[in-house]
Amino acid sequence: MNLVNQVNRDVRRTTLTDRESKILDSARVASFATVRADGRPHLVPITFARAEPGLIVTAVDHKPKRSTNLQRLRNVEAQPAVSLLVDHYEGDWTALWWLRIDATARVVVDEPDRTMLTQELVRKYAQYLGHPPTGAVIAMKIDAITPWNLD
């Protein structure tokens, strides 16, 4: 299998295919990229869920953190352009794939919207059943979907 040029960067889609939706629904973690005020990238692993068509959410939860005033929240408020990457690696390089979602994000702290957006996270992660996220939510509106080697 030829892995070169598997990405078609000329096509800008905002709607997930069924396969991409299944990948996002089953993936447990993604890499979340934002931009710091000084222009440097900021990348962190996150839990996430699809909330409604074209919208992906993550939230400040009870996992250990130094503060709930997270860099990613400040980054999104200053620069809402973000990327989310879900990928798969194994020794058989023909089985490699990734899915990148470029989005416009916003921080949601007002109720009832914040709680409503966390519902899909609670459905996806058993760890949230008894302890749903109580912090800010980052809602990401999909601007572009770029799959690689998902055919």
- Cα 93 to Cα 105: distance, rounded to the nearest angstrom: 33
Per-residue pLDDT, 8: 53
Has residue 76 been placed in a domain?
A: yes
Has residue 2 been placed in a domain?
A: no
Per-residue pLDDT, 13: 86
- Supply the range of the domain harboring residue 49: 18-148
Per-residue pLDDT, 2: 44
DSSP code of residue 48: -
Is the CB of residue 56 less than 8 Å from the CB of residue 137? Answer: no
Can the peptide bond before residue 41 be classed as cis, meaning omega within 30 degrees of 0? no
Type of residue at 86: V
Per-residue pLDDT, 3: 44
pTM: 0.88
pLDDT at 83 over 50: yes
Has residue 8 been placed in a domain?
A: no
Has residue 4 been placed in a domain?
A: no
Total structural domains within the chain: 1
Per-residue pLDDT, 65: 60
pLDDT at 5 over 50: no
For residue range 86-136, list pLDDT tens digits in order: 999 999 998 899 999 999 999 999 999 999 999 999 999 999 999 999 999
Has residue 5 been placed in a domain?
A: no
The CATH number of residue 89's host domain is 2.30.110.10
For residue range 16-47, list pLDDT tens digits in order: 999 999 999 999 999 999 999 999 999 999 99
Per-residue pLDDT, 4: 44
